[in-house]
Structure 1
Amino acid sequence: MSNRRTGTTRAAQAAQTRQRLVDTAIDLFSDRHYDDVAVTDIAKGAGVAHGLLFHYFGNKRGIYLAAMREAATQMDAAFVIDPALAPAQQMRHAFAAHLQYLADHRGLALRRVLTGSRDDPEAWEVFQSARSRALDRAAAVLGIDAANPAWVMMGRAAVAAIDEASMYWLNNREQFDKATMVECFVTIVTSALKGAHALDADLNVDAAIEAFDGEDGAGFHISTSRAKVRTDGQP
């Protein structure tokens, strides 16, 4: 029994050490270019011997990819679908949570999630997979066949538009409040639904569009101290 407890304790300690390394790597790769982050920086930030980094991840590339996978998992978790809400409200709250995650992880969002990894196909695919999962969840909420080619195309177009809007918002002092941004995302999705129907007349999108139009954001609130559009130039 004593040996079992000792083994369990060591496994837990190893897991904690590994997680500290990954969390530190996320922070460093969010703030700096890949080439400007050294293995010793990560180990020092995590408070462990740099040999442990090689033990768990092999090399800098290994911990970088592990960090990006963890970031994508966090982004996945932030896109929360609450089945207790009506479909349109589920989407609004998921968009709000996603936007808040990007705002809380600005460096990660701008350097890695939205644009930064396109020159690295393997890392970019990590976030593309997260986007695909979010798109599938959105299709389920909206009652759309996730595999329908017209929706796949227009859904991906909507994701790209939302990414561009998010990047502009982060790069411009978040000048629109979050609730307004969410309604902007709703408009993008509604347009994508109409575009999918234009491509495939058999794809019924009426219910999804009517859900958004009917609710029109009623009962949806995001706590924020920012004015709707800031004009004073202050962050």
Structure 2
Amino acid sequence: MSRPPAKMTARSARAAETRQRLIDTAITLFAENDYDKVGVGEISKTADVAHGLLFHYFGTKRGIYLEAMRSTAEAMARAFDGIPDATPDKQIRAALTAHLTYLREHRGLALRMVLGGRGADPEAWQVFENARTAALVAAAAMLGIDPHNDAIRLVGRTAVAAVDETSARWLEVESRFDVDVVVDMLVHLIAGCLRSVPFLDSTVDVDHAVSVLLGDSAPA
């Protein structure tokens, strides 16, 4: 009775390995080339996988592209796993450091797939938008501010856009500036964005959040 499940497990493991190999290959090819210049045949050949299996697992070229985007977003999220249990300012700095380090180690991928703009596929872009939203909510919680307040949401999105643009420009000059220096700049940039919230909503007090972010005080 135990042999069929064992065979199924081995078969499932091979299928999972083949599927992941296709995803990894697609990530590499889409990172190096525009979407229209990557063919399913090229993905299959480079992955050394039968052409039909790509369609079996993903249905279409767009299907594997979306899966490549999801896999990339998950890999970026895993880069935050090592963030220490520390004060909010140190956690945010650690998160920014992990983010920049991942982007630098996957430069082509970051510039083309992560920071390249909405492009022609809103659903693919939404994968990273969801990750950005989750990061904003987590950061707001650490700083003791309401992530659902309209002014904070607008300023938060502005800060995210600034971080993305800074990351892209930093990568384009081939990491001329050290990660720690860029992180320090980004922290002060975010603090500056926070200070603009009262211009939109005078009832919101951001002084404590800014102090926490800059490491000047502990959260209440």
TM-score by length of 2: 0.92
In structure 1, the residue matched to 2:6 is 5
Asked if 1:72 is matched to 2:73, the reply is yes
Percent identity between matched residues is 50
Of the structure 1 ranges 170-179 and 70-79, higher mean CA displacement relative to structure 2 is found in: 70-79
Asked if 1:102 is matched to 2:103, the reply is yes
How many residues of Structure 1 are paired with residues of Structure 2 in the alignment? 216
Q: Matches of 1:80 and 1:38 in 2, distance apart?
A: 34
- CA spacing shift, 1:111–1:80, aligned 2, 3 Å: same
In structure 2, the residue matched to 1:26 is 27
Q: Tell me by how many angstroms 1:91 deviates.
A: 0.2
The one-letter amino acid paired with 1:207 is H
Uncovered stretches (5+) of structure 1, i.e. residues with no partner: 217-235
The one-letter amino acid paired with 2:122 is P
Give the aligned CA root-mean-square deviation in angstroms.
1.7
CA distances 1:160-218 after superposition (whole Å, capped 9, x unpaired): 011111111111121111001001110121112112233223323222211233459xx
Uncovered stretches (5+) of structure 2, i.e. residues with no partner: none
In structure 2, the residue matched to 1:40 is 41
In structure 2, the residue matched to 1:161 is 162
CA distances 1:88-146 after superposition (whole Å, capped 9, x unpaired): 00000000000011111111111111124433212111111111111111112211211
Q: Matches of 1:76 and 1:61 in 2, distance apart?
A: 23
Q: Matches of 1:188 and 1:108 in 2, distance apart?
A: 25
Asked if 1:63 is matched to 2:64, the reply is yes
Contact 2:188/2:214 (8 A) holds in 1: no
In structure 2, the residue matched to 1:93 is 94
In structure 2, the residue matched to 1:205 is 206
Matched position secondary structure for 2:214: helix
Of the structure 1 ranges 43-52 and 92-101, higher mean CA displacement relative to structure 2 is found in: 43-52
In structure 2, the residue matched to 1:119 is 120
Matched position secondary structure for 1:118: coil
In structure 2, the residue matched to 1:141 is 142
Q: Matches of 2:189 and 2:14 in 1, distance apart?
A: 46
The one-letter amino acid paired with 2:27 is I
Q: Matches of 2:4 and 2:181 in 1, distance apart?
A: 57
Of the structure 1 ranges 69-78 and 19-28, higher mean CA displacement relative to structure 2 is found in: 69-78
Q: Tell me by how many angstroms 1:54 deviates.
A: 0.6
TM-score by length of 1: 0.86
Asked if 1:16 is matched to 2:5, the reply is no
- CA spacing shift, 1:96–1:193, aligned 2, 3 Å: same
Q: Tell me by how many angstroms 1:84 deviates.
A: 1.4
CA distances 1:9-28 after superposition (whole Å, capped 9, x unpaired): 21121111111111110010
In structure 2, the residue matched to 1:228 is none
Q: Matches of 1:213 and 1:153 in 2, distance apart?
A: 21
Q: Matches of 1:52 and 1:117 in 2, distance apart?
A: 29
Q: Matches of 1:120 and 1:176 in 2, distance apart?
A: 32
